[in-house]
Amino acid sequence: MLALLLKAHGGPENFELTEVARPDLRPGTVLVRIAAAALNPVDARIRTGLPIGPDLPAILGADMAGTLEAVAPDVTGFQPGDEVYGCVGGVKGQGGTLAEYIVADARLLARKPTTLSMREAAALPLVSITAWEAIERAAVKAADHVLAHGGTGGVGHIAVQLAKAKGARVAVTVSSQEAAATAHDLGADDAILYREETVADYVSRLTAGQGFPVVIDTVGGANLDKSFQAAALKGRISATAARSTHDLTPLHQKGLSLHVVFMLIPMLHDIGRERHGQILQDLAVLADAGKVKPLIDARRFDLAQAADGYRHLESGAARGKVVVDIA
For residues 175, 176, 181 and 186, what is the CA-based torsion angle, rounded to 10 degrees?
-10
Number of residues that this document lists for the chain:
327
Mean pLDDT to the nearest integer, 168-190: 95
Query: In 10 A of CB 207, how many CB atoms?
Result: 16
Does the pLDDT of residue 261 top 90, yes or no? yes
**In CATH, 127-260 is 3.40.50.720:** yes
Q: Across all residues in the chain, what is the average pLDDT?
A: 96
**206-232 residue pLDDT tens:** 999 999 999 999 999 999 999 999 999
Distance CA 265, CA 107 (A): 14
User: What one-character-per-residue DSSP string does 168-192 give?
Assistant: -EEEEEESSHHHHHHHHHHT-SEEE
What pLDDT does residue 238 have? 97
pLDDT band at 323 (very low <50, low <70, confident <90, very high): very high
What pLDDT does residue 316 have? 87
Question: Does the fold of domain 127-260 match that of domain 2-124+269-325?
Answer: no
What pLDDT does residue 36 have? 98
Distance CA 54, CA 95 (A): 8
What pLDDT does residue 305 have? 96
**114-173 residue pLDDT tens:** 999 999 999 999 999 999 999 999 999 999 999 999 999 999 999 999 999 999 999 999
What pLDDT does residue 327 have? 84
Distance CA 52, CA 228 (A): 29
**40-73 residue pLDDT tens:** 999 999 999 999 999 999 999 999 999 999 999 9
Q: How much helix, strand and coil, in percent to the nearest 5, is found in the chain?
A: 35, 25, 40
Does the pLDDT of residue 85 top 90, yes or no? yes
Mean pLDDT to the nearest integer, 65-84: 97
**102-127 residue pLDDT tens:** 999 999 999 999 999 999 999 999 99
**248-260 residue pLDDT tens:** 999 999 999 999 9
E strand or H helix at 281: helix 273-288
Question: Taking the domains of the chain in order of start, what are their residue ranges?
Answer: 2-124+269-325, 127-260
* Residue 211, Ramachandran bin (φ over 0: left; ψ between -120 and 50: alpha; else beta): left
pLDDT band at 317 (very low <50, low <70, confident <90, very high): confident
Paired strand residues for 212: 231
What pLDDT does residue 110 have? 98
**In CATH, 2-124+269-325 is 3.90.180.10:** yes
Q: Which of 237, 193, 245 is nearest to 211 (CA)?
A: 237
What pLDDT does residue 80 have? 98
57 in helix, strand or coil?
coil
What pLDDT does residue 243 have? 87
